[in-house]
Amino acid sequence: MIEGTAALLRWYVEQGVDEAIGEEPIDRFAAPPPAPAVAAVAPSPPAARAPTPLRAPPSPPPAQTRAPVPLESPQLVEDARTLADGCSTLAELEAAIRGFEGCALKRTAKNTVFADGTPGAPVMIVGEAPGADEDRLGKPFVGVSGQLMDRMMASIGLTRDGGFYITNILFWRPPGNRTPTTAEQGMCLAFTRRHIELAKPKVLVLAGGVAVKAVLDTTEGITRLRGKWTGYTLGDGTVIPTMPTFHPAYLLRTPASKRQSWQDLLAIDKKLKELG
Ligand code: URA
């Protein structure tokens, strides 16, 4: 029996089935509210009970008609914001994120991926979400696209050791790298906004369309926005020069675009020199 189960599991792994999740995200905002609790009814005395009918009891409703537990809701996004706003150091923020149980992505992720590099460095890079390597190691941008990011930053003299600080708009890997739901993004973004406030870099770099849209709250695509300086305004009114740029994963798929990314890197280098 155990051997049979082990063989089945081995077969699943060989076929690439390594996560017990669905392909599509569940939009819990669209889900019906949970059914109201049934009021307790006092049982009738045995004598008053109707005779038991001679037919099969009604079958239970199919699983998908049951009201889902609301794992995500606008209230949880609000909770994330309150929690994030209450943090006054990066260490407090990291602890708050690690302890936050409101985001469904945490349930399928192996690790919380907070940040890497040097807090307080002149450049802060914000990417999209941890992938499989990042989830396994608990650090952002450590897979192939992270290695490309490191080489790109090194070309303008910046390393994780003092030159830049790096994170993502999501702190948990979306299962199968699927697109995160609006609620998942909203919850993590509340923390990311505080993250930028507390790290207060000289220059913010947004890597890829998903991070650009979320952080700048825009519907404009990365192709239009990349290479153009914009500003990210902190709560105290400070405006951080912000550079939207292609995601390194995109550059790996489209090497011809590296030419434009090189222009972006030169612009970042120039801005840092201007800022002193
Ligand atoms: N892609 C990202 O956006 N972030 C990572 O941490 C890794 C890959």
Query: Per-residue pLDDT tens for 238-263?
Result: 999 999 999 999 999 999 999 999 99
* Owner of token pair 């708009």: 169
Which alpha helices (DSSP H) does 86-208 contain, by range?
A: 90-99, 105-108, 132-137, 144-154, 182-199
CA distance 174 to 4: 31
- Residue from 139, 168, 195 to probe ligand 1 pocket by mutation (most atoms less than 8 Å from CB): 168
Measured in Å, residue 114 CA sits from the centre of ligand 1 at: 11
- Residue from 134, 149, 212, 253 to probe ligand 1 pocket by mutation (most atoms less than 8 Å from CB): 134
- Does ligand 1 lie within 6 Å of residue 128's CB atom? yes
Do the Cβ atoms of 181 and 25 come closer than 8 Å? yes
Counting atoms of ligand 1 from 1, which one is nearest the CA of 248? Answer: 1
Token pair of 122 as six digits: 């002149």
CA distance 261 to 251: 8
Measured in Å, residue 237 CA sits from the centre of ligand 1 at: 29
Average pLDDT along the chain: 84
The 8-class DSSP code of residue 125 comes to E
Which domains does the chain carry? Answer: 74-275 (3.40.470.10)
Element holding 241 (H helix, E strand)? strand 239-245
The 8-class DSSP code of residue 174 comes to P
Do the Cβ atoms of 248 and 152 come closer than 8 Å? yes
Q: Specify the pLDDT at position 8.
A: 65
User: By C-alpha distance, which of 119, 117, 146, 118 is closest to 130?
Assistant: 146
pLDDT band at 16 (very low <50, low <70, confident <90, very high): very low
Output the pTM of the full model. 0.77
Token pair of 19 as six digits: 């996560």
- Does ligand 1 lie within 6 Å of residue 127's CB atom? yes
Q: Specify the pLDDT at position 179.
A: 84
**Helical axes 74-85 vs 90-99, angle rounded to 10°:** 150
Its sign, for the CA torsion 178, 198, 155, 136, is negative
Strand-pair category, 230-233 with 164-168: unpaired
CA distance 262 to 264: 5
- Does ligand 1 lie within 6 Å of residue 168's CB atom? yes
Counting atoms of ligand 1 from 1, which one is nearest the CA of 113? Answer: 6
- Does ligand 1 lie within 6 Å of residue 180's CB atom? no
Query: Per-residue pLDDT tens for 78-112?
Result: 999 999 999 999 999 999 999 999 999 999 999 99
Element holding 206 (H helix, E strand)? strand 203-207
Query: Per-residue pLDDT tens for 145-185?
Result: 999 999 999 999 999 999 999 999 999 999 999 988 888 88
- Does ligand 1 lie within 6 Å of residue 172's CB atom? no
Residues in the chain: 276
Do the Cβ atoms of 246 and 207 come closer than 8 Å? yes
Query: Per-residue pLDDT tens for 180-221?
Result: 888 888 899 999 999 999 999 999 999 999 999 999 999 999
DSSP-based three-state secondary structure for 93: helix
DSSP secondary structure, 16-77, as one string: T----S-SSPP-TTSSPPPPPPPPP-PPPPGGGSPPPPSSPPPPPPPGGGSPPP--S-HHHH
Measured in Å, residue 70 CA sits from the centre of ligand 1 at: 28
Is the pLDDT score of 56 beyond 60?
Answer: no
- Does ligand 1 lie within 6 Å of residue 112's CB atom? no
